[in-house]
Structure 1
Amino acid sequence: MAIHWLLILICCIGLHFSSTKYTPDWESLDSRPLPKWYDETKFGIFITWGVFAVPSFSSEWFWPHWKSKHPNHDIVNFMKRNYRPDFTYADFAADFTAEFFDPDEWADIFKASGAGYVVFTTKHGGGFPNWPSSHSFNWNAKSVGPNRDIVGDLAEAIRNRTDIKFGTYYCLSEWFNPLYLKDRNSNFTTTDFVKTKAMPDLYELVSKYKPEIVWADTVDNLGPASYWTSKEFLAWLYNESPVKDTVVTNDRWCQDCFCKHGGFKTCSDRFNPGVLQKFKWENCMTIDTHSWGYRRNSNIDAYLSVHDIISTFASTISCGGNMLMNVGPTKEGKIMPIFEERLRQFGQWLKVNGEGVYSTVPWSHQKDTVTKNIWYTKRKMESEGTVVYAFLLSWPTDALLNLGAPIPSQQTEVSMLGYPDKFIWKAGPGGQGIHVTIPIIPWNKLPCEWAWVLKLTHISN
C-alpha cells in the first residue's frame, strides 16, 4: 500500500512540473527553475569546430578578419602567399575533410576529463552547419567537406559511451549572409533571415538531436528579442520540446539579454567575477588563450597549464559558476595532443578532488581571509555536518597553514582528499580560524599534482 501511494505522489509531482506553462515574456521565462543537473556537474567542454579549421590561422574569426572593411593584414598576406587570387572562403569547405574524426575517441577523452556536459558548435558565424540542415542547401557538413552528420555522430557516441549531457552551440547571426545583412541594415524591421534560416535551424536542431543545452550566440550582439523571436522559441523549448523538462539555456538571445535573461548567465567570454553572484553563471574560457578554434600558428606559451586551469576552475565554482572549457579540433577531426593532455590531466585531478567539486555549493566565504590562493566550497553531510573544502592552489611553504575564514567546533576534523591521515590543527585566537599543521609528505606521496583540497568537517559557520 505504501508503494502504491508513493507512486501516486511521484506521478503527481511529475504532472505538476510538466503542467507549468511558460509564456513568451521574460518574467515568465526567467522564473523557470534551472534543472539541478547543470549546477551539480560544474564542468563542461566546449568544442569550436567548423570550416575555419581549414586555414587554422589567427582564429575562428578568420573570414571577417580577412574580408571586413578593415582587414587583418597578416591574414591578407597569408592568403596572397598561399592561395590563388580568386580563392573564396567557401572554397575552404572542400578541405574540411574530418577524415580522422572518431566520435568514440572524442567521447572517451571527454569522459576521462571528468566533464558533465559538452557543448558542440553546430553552426558558427560563417553559417556552415555541422549537420544536414534543411535550411542550408549545399553548405553543410553532409553536402560538402566531411560528407557526414557530425552533430548526430558525436551525439550518438557521447550518449552510448558516457553519461555526459550533450549540448549544442548555435550562432544566431552570420557575418556575410545577405539576408541577415539586409535585416540588420533595415534596423531589424525586416525578418527574412530569422524566419527562413536561424529559427528553422534551431527548431530542427532541438527536435532532431534533443540537446540538453541550447547555447545561443551572435556575431555582433545585435538584434532585439522581438527580431530573433527568442521568447517564443524559449517558451516552445520549455513547454513543448522533447527536452522541455531537462534543457538549460544561456543568456545570449538578443542584444539586451546578456547577463539578464535566459537560464544561466555567461555575460561575456571568460566571465569570472571573483565574487559570488546572485544568479547561476558560466565561465566560458579557452585552453588556447588567443583563440577558440584550432590554430596552426600557435605556440606553447598560448596554452594554459593544468595549474592555470585548476586555478580558474576553483575561483569559478567558489563563486557559484560552472566552467566551460574550450578545445578546437583540426580540420582532419583530431583533438591535438596538448588539448587531450590538459583534459586528461584535469580529469586525473578531479578523480581525487571531485568530492569538493561535484554537487557542492558556495560557502559563506569564497576566498580565505588570511592566506592567498585558497578558495572554498561546501556541502551538508548528515554525518559530518557542514563540510567545507579549501582549494590550495600552491603547497604551503610553512609548517603551519593559517585559514582565517572557518570557525571550528570541538568535532572539527581536517584532512586532505586522497590522503589517508588526519591533520593536526588548533583554533585561532578567539576561536576564529584554523591553524593546520602541515605534515612532511614526500612529493611522490601526495594524492595529486598541481593543487590540493583540504576537507574541514563540523565547521560552525
Structure 2
Amino acid sequence: MKKLLFAFCFLFTISGLQAQKKYEATWESIDSRPVPTWFEDAKFGIFIHWGLFSVPAWGPTEKDGVGIYDRYSEWYWKGISDPNRKSYAAFTKFHNNTFGKDFKYQDFAKDFKCELFDPNDWAKVFEDAGAKYVVLTSKHHEGYTLWPSKEAWNWNAVDLNPHRDLAGDLMTAVRGKGLRMGYYYSLYEWFNPTYKQNVHQYVDDHMIPQMKDLVNRYKPDVLWTDGEWDYPSDTWKSTEFLSWLYNESPAKNEIVINDRWGKETRGKHGGIFTTEYDLIHDQNSTGMEINHPWEECRGIGSSFGFSRNEMLDDYSTSEQLVHILVDKVARGGNLLLNIGPAADGTIPVIMQQRLRDIGKWLKVNGEAIYSSRKLANAPKVDKDTKIYFTTKGKDLYLITTKWEDTPIIVDGIKANNIQLLGFKGTVKSTVKSGKLIITPPALSPATNPCNYAWVYKIPNAL
C-alpha cells in the first residue's frame, strides 16, 4: 500500500512539473508568458521616487526652458555633473548657490534622515486613494539602495542614514492593507566605477546578484526596471535573469515586469509596455492604440522626485488626474501615478490632496474602472474626447468627463435600466433606430454623486 501511495504521489508531482511551462532565456519564450491577471484588474497604482535626490529636492521647470525629461529632480547628480545635458546650467547654478561648489552629491547622505517616515501612514494614503498596487524606487540611477544590499555596501539606507530598511518596512505596511507591492530598479548606475570600466563585470558581479537579492528577500509583485538604454538586452543578460525569475524565483507566479530590459526592448519585449508622460521614445502616445497590457507612468507634477522648484501650475489638478485615469483605462491601460516624498519621510500635502480626491471619485465610480476592459471597436480617442467606454462582462460603462445636459446618444446599443453611478434617482432612456438615447438627470449640489467625471452603467448591453 505504501508503495502504491508513493507511486501515486510521484506521478502527481511529475505531472505538475510537466504542466508548469519552463521559460527559456530567449525573448520568444519570455514574451510567451501571460501578464498576470491581477495587473489588468488593478488599473491604478502609486509610483514612489525617493532617495538621496530627495534631499536637494530640486529640478528645473518649464520656465527654465528645458524639456520634460530634463525636469526630473531625481536626475540631480547627473544634472550637476554632465555639461552635455540641457539642464546642466540650471542644476549647477542652483547647486553652487545653495550648497557650494565643493559640496559633493555623496554629502547629501547625512541629511536623508527620513525621521518622519511612517510606512503605515503611507499605506493608508494609498488605500484611501483607491490604488491597488505600489512601486517604490529600490535603487535609482544614483546606485543608493533603500534596502541593505551587500552590493551597495556603505551606499544604502541601512549602512548610512536613515539606518533603516525602507523598502522592507513599506512592503510590510502596503501588503498589510491588501495592496500589491513592487520595486523600481535601475539597471545602470551613473558613476559606479565597475559599470564605467567593465559593463560585463558589473552585470555579473553587481546587477544580477543585486536584483536576485531584491526578489528573494521581498518576493515583489512588480519588478519595474529602467536605465536600460545604454546597451542591448544581451549585454544586460536580461533573458537569462528573466528565465530565472519565471522558473525558479519565489515570485515567479505573480510577478509583473515591464519592457525596459535593453535599448531595443521598449514596446517589444518583456511584460507590460510603458509610456511616460504620454511619451514613447519622445513620440506622443495620446490616443494611441496599444493592443497589449500597458501602463502610463507620470508624476503629479513635472518631476518624479520631489522638486521644491515646482509651483502650483506645475501640478496636475484633481480633475486632470481623474481624466488621465479614465483615458488610460478606457484604452486598456493602467495609470501608475507618482509621488515624490520629502527627505524627512513625509508625502507633500498637495500630493496627498490629489490622491484623496482620486480616491473619493473611485469610491463612487470604481465599478467602471477596476477589473474592467476596453470596449472592442470603441470610437477613436483623441485630445478632444469627452466620452469614454469600459466593459465588464455584459455591462457597458459610459464615462463622460464633461457633464452634458443634452441627451447622450450611443449607436448600436439596445438597453434599458440605465444607472448613473452614485445617483439615487432614475435615468430616463429610450431606444430609437438602434440608438440608445440617455437623458441626463437634473442634478443639484445635494444629488451630484461626484466631481470630475460621471459614469452611466448600461447593463446587459454586450
* TM-score where L is the length of structure 2: 0.89
The reply to whether residue 401 of structure 1 matches residue 407 of structure 2 is yes
**Secondary structure of the structure 2 residue equivalent to 1:339:** helix
Helix, strand or coil at the partner of 1:60: helix
Instruction: Extract unaligned runs of 5+ from structure 1.
Output: 1-7, 184-189, 381-385
Aligned pairs for 1:46-85 (under 5 A) are: 46-58=47-59, 59-70=73-84, 72-85=88-101
Q: In the alignment, which of 316, 320, 328 is matched to residue 340 of structure 2?
A: 328
Residues 96 and 332 in structure 1, CA contact (< 8 A), matched pair in contact too:
yes
Query: Which one-letter code corresponds to 1:246 in the other structure?
Result: E
Match for 2:173 among 157, 179, 186?
157
Aligned to 2:386: 373
Instruction: Among all aligned residue pairs of Structure 1 and Structure 2, give the percentage whose two residues are the same amino acid.
Output: 37
Contact kept, 8 Å, 2:276 with 2:298, in 1: the verdict is: no
Which residue in 2 is equivalent to 1:274? 287
Matched length: 431
SS at match of 1:413: coil
Question: In 1, distance between residues paired with 2:297 and 2:381?
Answer: 27
Task: Give the match for residue 445 of structure 1.
Answer: 447
Q: Report the CA distance shift for 1:427/1:217 in structure 2 as closer, same or farther (over 3 A).
A: same
Q: Which amino acid aligns with 1:440?
A: A
Q: Deviations over 1:326-350 (max 9, x none)?
A: 0000010100111111111111111
**2:361 match:** 349
Deviation, 1:211, is 0.4
SS in 2 for 1:258: coil
How far apart are the structure 2 equivalents of 1:281 and 1:250? 9
Distance 1:17 1:275, change over 3 A: farther
Residue from 145, 149, 167 that aligns with 1:133 = 149
Q: Sort the Cα spacing of 1:35 and 1:13 in 2 relative to 1 into closer, same or farther, 3 A.
A: farther
Matched position secondary structure for 2:338: strand
Counterpart-to-counterpart distance in 2, 1:449 and 1:269: 24
- Correspondence for 1:206 among 189, 212, 215: 215
Q: What is the 5 A alignment of 1:354-433?
A: 354-367=366-379, 372-380=385-393, 386-396=394-404, 398=405, 400-405=406-411, 407-409=412-414, 411-428=415-432, 430-431=433-434, 433=435
- C-alpha distance in structure 2 between counterparts of 1:66 and 1:284, whole Å: 25
Quote the residue 1:176 is aligned against. Answer: 191
For 1:408 and 1:74, locate their aligned partners in 2 and report how far apart those are by CA, in whole Å. Answer: 56
Cα distance between partner residues in 2 of 1:301 and 1:73: 23
Q: How many Å apart are 1:236 and its aligned residue?
A: 0.7
Alignment correspondent of 1:4 = none
Alpha-carbon displacement from aligned partner over 1:24-68 (angstroms, at most 9, x marks no partner): 101111101111111001110000000000101101111111110
CA separation of 1:169 and 1:441: change in aligned 2, threshold 3 A: same
User: Cα offset for 1:404?
Assistant: 3.5
**Residue 37 (1) aligns with residue 50 (2):** no
SS in 2 for 1:403: strand
Q: Please, which runs of 5 or more residues in structure 2 have no aligned partner?
A: 1-8, 60-72, 280-284
- 2: CA distance, partners of 1:443 / 1:133: 54
Aligned to 2:22: 21
Deviation at 1:267, TM superposition (A): 4.7
The CA deviation at 1:180 is 1.5
Q: For residues 98-141 of structure 1, what are the alpha-carbon distances to aligned partners after superposition, in whole Å with 9 as ceiling and x for unaligned?
A: 10111010011011111110000000010100111010111111
Structure-1 residue corresponding to 2:6? none
Deviation at 1:79, TM superposition (A): 1.9
Cα separation, partners in 2 of 1:447 and 1:27, compared to 1, 3 Å:
same
CA distance in 1, matches of 2:373, 2:14: 25
Structure-2 residue corresponding to 1:313:
325
- SS state of the match for residue 444, structure 1? coil
Deviation at 1:408, TM superposition (A): 2.6
Instruction: Tell me whether 1:224 sits opposite 2:232 in the alignment.
Output: yes
Instruction: Name 1:247's counterpart in structure 2.
Output: 255
CA deviations on 1:296-316 (whole Å, 9 max, x unpaired) are 121000111111111111111
Instruction: Rate the CA distance shift 1:13–1:354 in 2: closer, same or farther, 3 A.
Output: farther
Letter in 2 for 1:403: I
Is 1:296 aligned to 2:305, yes or no? no
- With over 3 angstroms needed to count, the CA separation of the structure-2 counterparts of 1:249 and 1:343, relative to structure 1, is same
One-letter identity of the residue aligned with 1:70 = N
Change (3 A) 1:297 1:173: same
Equivalent residues of 2:54, 2:306 under 8 A apart: yes
Letter in 1 for 2:231: G
Residues 415 and 454 of structure 1 are in contact (CA less than 8 Å); yes or no, is this contact kept in structure 2? yes
CA RMSD of aligned residues (A): 2.2
Deviation of the 1:217 alpha carbon: 0.4
Deviates more, 1:208-217 or 1:80-89: 80-89
Are the equivalent residues in 2 in contact too, given 1:374–1:393 (CA < 8 A)?
yes
CA shift at 1:85, angstroms? 3.0
Distance 2:422 2:18 in 1: 40
- 8 Å contact 1:365–1:376 — kept in the other structure? no
Q: CA deviation at 1:143?
A: 1.2
Superimposed CA distance per residue, residues 7-31 of structure 1 (whole angstroms, 9 cap, x where no aligned partner): x9xx999936962110110111110
Which amino acid is the alignment partner of residue 337 of structure 1?
Answer: V
Which stretch has the larger CA shift, 243-252 or 273-282? 273-282
Give the secondary structure class of the aligned counterpart of 2:396: strand
| Equivalent AA in structure 1 for residue 179 of structure 2 | I
> SS at 1:46's partner residue?
strand
Aligned AA for 1:174? E
> CA contact under 8 A between 2:300 and 2:315: conserved in structure 1?
yes
Q: Distance in 2 between matches of 1:337 and 1:230?
A: 39
Alignment TM-score, normalising by the size of structure 1? 0.89
Task: Confirm or deny: 8 A CA contact 1:285 1:324 kept in the other structure.
Answer: yes
Q: Is the 8 A contact 1:413 1:457 kept in 2?
A: yes
Distance 1:374 1:84, change over 3 A: same
Q: Per the alignment, in what secondary structure is the counterpart of residue 241 of structure 1? A: coil
